[in-house]
């Protein structure tokens, strides 16, 4: 949970909010087949709640007042992975900074699977 303090009070942004925001930015990127589980906790939640949990594959942390975003994705076979990753970084950074006014320190993208269509 990320907390923003301003003169009017405190705003708390949950990981679910960031997952939805980032998920919308990623789904518009060509070559992305979907999100992948980000560790054992995501895998367990996927088994219990089904494959469409909103926070699947997105981890957001705050370091020194800036956001560090870890993404786990699946890509389509035959596309240029480095181009997809750069496109994801640009779109996610823009979406998060525009929606929250928080600065993004870095975005780590892990390609966990390649899907054939």
Q: Sorting pLDDT into bands at 50, 70 and 90, what band is 82?
A: very high
CATH number at residue 52: 3.30.70.1350
What's the number of domains the chain is made of? 1
Which of 10-24, 62-76, 84-98 is the least confident region? 10-24
For residue 27, give both structure tokens: 């789904």
Alpha-carbon distance of 67 to 89, in angstroms, equals: 13
pLDDT at 45: 54
Alpha-carbon distance of 42 to 21, in angstroms, equals: 18
pTM: 0.80
Provide the residue range defining the domain that includes 108: 2-115
């Amino acid at each position: 949970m990320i907390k923003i303090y301003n003169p009017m009070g405190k705003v708390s942004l949950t990981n679910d909010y960031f997952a939805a925001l980032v998920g919308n930015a990623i789904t518009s990127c060509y070559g992305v087949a979907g999100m992948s589980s980000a560790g054992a906790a995501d895998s367990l939640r996927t088994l219990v709640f089904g494959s469409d949990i909103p926070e699947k594959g997105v981890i957001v942390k705050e370091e020194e007042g800036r956001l560090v975003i870890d993404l786990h994705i699946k890509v389509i076979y035959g596309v240029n992975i480095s181009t997809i990753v750069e496109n994801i970084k640009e779109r996610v950074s823009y979406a998060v900074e525009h929606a929250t006014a928080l600065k993004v320190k870095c975005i780590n993208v892990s390609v966990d699977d390649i899907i054939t269509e």
